[in-house]
Amino acid sequence: MKQEVLRNNLKQIRTRLGMNQQDLANLAGVTRQTISGVESGQYAPSTTISLRLAKALGCHVEDLFWLEEDLPEIAAVPAQNLPVGQDLRVILARIGGKWVAHPLIGKDAFRTEMIPADGAANRLSLMDTVLVKLLDDPKKLYNTVVLAGCSPALSLWARAAERWHPELRVHLTFANSMTALERLCRGEVHIAGMHLYCPQTREHNT
């Protein structure tokens, strides 16, 4: 019988909320060593500790822990900036009734921390879809909002939104105003940030 392995994304949720290990340990009433052991997979927490961690992070236990199974592949529409012929980490979002795969490369892969991937993909040719091998429970992918823009304030807004709503994920992909609008028109993002100049009013739009 295959031994089931307990997986967790405690570190990803903790870092998205701007906590270090000691911050979370204090809130959950455990030691920092416990947090480190759980995150590394060296320690399987008890039901009591699991509930404390979920309460401290404002989420459900099943959002933090799951049993490893054969996770499926998802057919997704590749964002235009997904390179061809490379094994890449991607983040997935549900946009307009379809899955869209955004590459986690360059500045799109980082905010203050490395953004955890939802899956791995290799775009072999300029086809309409790409197969993404999931690295996490697909139920966790539905609360992702993708925002294209170039204002530094957008990254601060994204982190604030996730602090208020721990189950929400905001993925910021960097683009100038016109590129952001083009991505919105292609159905790659939910929101486009823009600050275009109007020659009639001689002001940027608000």
Domain boundaries, the chain: 6-67, 73-197
12 vs 133, more confident: 133
51 vs 117, more confident: 51
Q: What mean pLDDT do residues 45-57 have? A: 93
pLDDT digits (tens, 9 = 90+) for 162-174: 888 888 889 999 9
| pLDDT > 90? residue 95 | yes
Task: Supply the angle between the helices 47-57 and 32-40 in degrees, to the nearest 10.
Answer: 100
The two tokens of residue 15 are 């870092």
How far is the CA of 163 from the CAs of 57, 113, 156, 158, 203, in angstroms?
A: 9, 15, 11, 9, 34
- Taking only Cα atoms into account, the Rg of the chain, rounded to an integer number of angstroms, comes to 19
Q: By the 8 A CB rule, do 102 and 90 touch?
A: yes
pLDDT digits (tens, 9 = 90+) for 64-91: 887 766 567 889 999 998 888 888 889 9
Q: Average per-residue pLDDT in the chain?
A: 86
Antiparallel, parallel or unpaired: β 169-174 and 191-192: unpaired
Please give the pLDDT value at position 1.
Answer: 46
The two tokens of residue 90 are 């991607």
Antiparallel, parallel or unpaired: β 144-149 and 169-174: parallel
Closest alpha carbon to 76 in 60, 54, 94, 100? 100
**Tell me, what amino acid is at 143?**
N
Q: What mean pLDDT do residues 29-33 have? A: 95
The two tokens of residue 82 are 């997904």
pLDDT digits (tens, 9 = 90+) for 106-153: 888 776 566 777 888 888 777 788 889 887 777 778 889 999 998 888
CA dihedral 56, 54, 52, 2 (to 10 degrees): -150
Q: Which segment of 58-62, 99-103, 189-193 scores lowest on mean pLDDT?
A: 58-62
Q: What is the CATH number of domain 6-67?
A: 1.10.260.40
DSSP-assigned letters across all residues of 69-126: --PPEEEEEEPTT--BS-EEEEEEEEETTEEEEEE--GGGGBSSSBPPPSEEEEB-SS
Please give the pLDDT value at position 4.
Answer: 64
